[in-house]
Amino acid sequence: MNLFDLSGKVAVITGSSRGIGRAIAEHMAAHGAKVVISSRKKAACDEVATAINDKAGKQVALPVAANISTKDDLKNLVEETNRAFGHIDTLVCNAASNPYYGPQGGISDDQFRKILDNNIVANHWLISLIVPQMIERKDGSITIISSIGGLKGSTVLGAYAISKAADMQLARNLACEYGQYNIRVNCIAPGLIKTDFARALWENPETLKASTARSPLLRIGEPDEIAGAAVFLASRAGSFTTGQTIVIDGGATIS
């Protein structure tokens, strides 16, 4: 038995047209899952789905554009997935927003609300839309991509860090609520990863040096290095793991 085999599973991954989300979709597909590629831009979703399908030699990826801030878009995402694949076994809430970089006192109300709505409320919406079928089958895996920002104080990422700490608590609450139905809910908390989303943190040489100087591995991570944990949590290998936050940061938070 391959503990990481995802054959027959269907996974919805938000924010999966690039970065960590794309890496998760690619590796889940490589382990046998059918995957739904979702982000705001249809063309980007189509490109990733085509690349995954071409590699697999068959249709295993479905592109469905959705803006996580719009509840109707999320409903359509669930409906289109069910229509194409019949069910949803795994949800990865990866899409997030961070429109502000700076001290907490300088953030506008609209920026603060957008961060909280997209990074917390949208996850709650999508989970609530998908979880009824998991309850009916008494099986499912939900993974929220959080951040080590939710474990530390920050002078420049305050609202984002608040939202990511809340995601960890959301996972713990839902793990307690849905555990009786054999539904696992967890978080992955990446450190600094080389993605477009985190470009402001690694493109500047001084910021990069400061971010890695005390990290045991002395470097930032790559999206593929996060994807393995998502595969683990969706597979039989992770079937006794729930309510946890798996930190993947090159050791940054221990030093």
Residue 4 lies in a domain: no
Residue 178 near residue 185 (C-beta atoms within 8 A): yes
Average pLDDT over residues 56-79: 98
pLDDT in tens, 200-238: 767 778 888 888 888 999 999 999 999 999 999 999 999
Q: Is 100 a catalytic residue?
A: no
pLDDT of 207 reads 80
Average pLDDT over residues 46-52: 98
Residue 26 clears pLDDT 80, i.e. is over it: yes
Catalytic residue among 100, 101, 160, 178: 160
Residue 67 near residue 40 (C-beta atoms within 8 A): yes
The CATH number for 56's domain is 3.40.50.720
The mean pLDDT value of the chain amounts to 96
Residue 138 lies in a domain: yes
Residue 132 lies in a domain: yes
Rounded CA-CA distance 78/72 in Å is: 10
Residue 3 lies in a domain: no
Residue 5 lies in a domain: no
Residue 171 lies in a domain: yes
Q: What is the 3-state secondary structure (H, E, C) of 38-87?
A: ECCCHHHHHHHHHHHHHHHCCCCEEECCCCCCCHHHHHHHHHHHHHHHCC
pTM of structure: 0.96
Average pLDDT over residues 37-51: 98
Number of domains in the chain: 1
Q: Categorize the per-residue pLDDT at 17 as very low, low, confident or very high, splitting at 50, 70 and 90.
A: very high
Q: Domain range holding 66?
A: 10-249
